[in-house]
Structure 1
Amino acid sequence: MGIDWTQMNVWAILAGGALYMFYGAIYYSILLKNKGEFAANESKGPGKYAASAAIAFISSLLIGILVVSAGAETWISGAAAGFIVGLIITLVYLKNSLFGLLSRRALFIAAGDHLIIFTLLGAVHGIWS
């Protein structure tokens, strides 16, 4: 199974990366008004914002590859592919929380974030495929 790079849409990758950053800024500013328990673990300096932007575009690219490889041609099939990725990530977070590596609050915040954004990224790529 190869990747048909001609099917990749640069605009979808860019739009997905921008959507990820916009969504993340809103999602986390609402849910983390009071960082409380998370403040001690936060990275210092502006590098975290550059890394977050890079991760947004890399995530969009990878979801785009998955959507194209899966042959998803509608926003619904793209969203389904993205939801599956979000669900896998959520299951990993759930397992980590069972062993005390993640608080219950952190689990719900991270799980909600990934379920929503990867579903949205899949939909974006499905629209443009």
Structure 2
Amino acid sequence: MLVDVSSLNYWAILAGGILYMIYGGIYYTVLVGKKNQNTGPLKYVVAGIVAFISSIFIGVLVQATGSTSWLSGVAVGSIVGFLISIVYLKNTLFGLVSAKNCAIAIGDHLIIFTLLGALHGFFI
């Protein structure tokens, strides 16, 4: 299960990173609002880095699993989103995350990783 990094679609990685940032900006603005957001430019820099790293990882996973279409990419992205959601549930059970924040984060990760999987599957 080796991944040929040279065969990754760099346009899809770029599009995925941009998609993640646009989606995250809309999602968190609608659900959290401006009053509860941290201020400062560092959060945007880190969010952008996370967006592109996430797009790279999903691109690698879609390729490594042998996905051949956007639908199989959806499956890969959904699995990743589901696994991240399980971690949030566990953290909520132990009081590390509030139930409201858990629901917001789970919704975010389920949707964005499914979208990233679809995008990378489409461009495979």
TM-score (norm 1): 0.92
Could you say which residue in structure 1 is the equivalent of 2:115? Answer: 120
Could you say which residue in structure 1 is the equivalent of 2:13? Answer: 13
1:100 matches 2:95: yes
- What is the DSSP-based 3-state SS (H/G/I as helix, E as strand, rest coil) of the residue aligned with 1:72? coil
- d(CA) in 1 for partners of 2:113 and 2:40? 27
Pairing 1:25-44 to 2, within 5 Å after superposition: 25-33=25-33, 35=35, 39=36, 43-44=38-39
1:55 to 50, 74, 93: 50
Could you say which residue in structure 1 is the equivalent of 2:2? Answer: 2
2:86 to 86, 91, 95: 91
| Corresponding pairs, count | 124
Q: Residues 30, 44 of structure 1: CA spacing in aligned structure 2 closer, same or farther, 3 A cutoff? A: closer
- What is the DSSP-based 3-state SS (H/G/I as helix, E as strand, rest coil) of the residue aligned with 1:83? helix
Give the % identical residues.
56
- d(CA) in 2 for partners of 1:55 and 1:33? 21
Moved more, 75-84 or 42-51: 42-51
Structure 2: runs of 5 or more not aligned: none
- d(CA) in 1 for partners of 2:94 and 2:34? 25
1:80 matches 2:75: yes
- d(CA) in 2 for partners of 1:78 and 1:116? 13
Q: CA deviation at 1:43?
A: 4.8
- What is the DSSP-based 3-state SS (H/G/I as helix, E as strand, rest coil) of the residue aligned with 1:2? coil
Structure 1 runs of 4+ off > 3 angstroms?
none
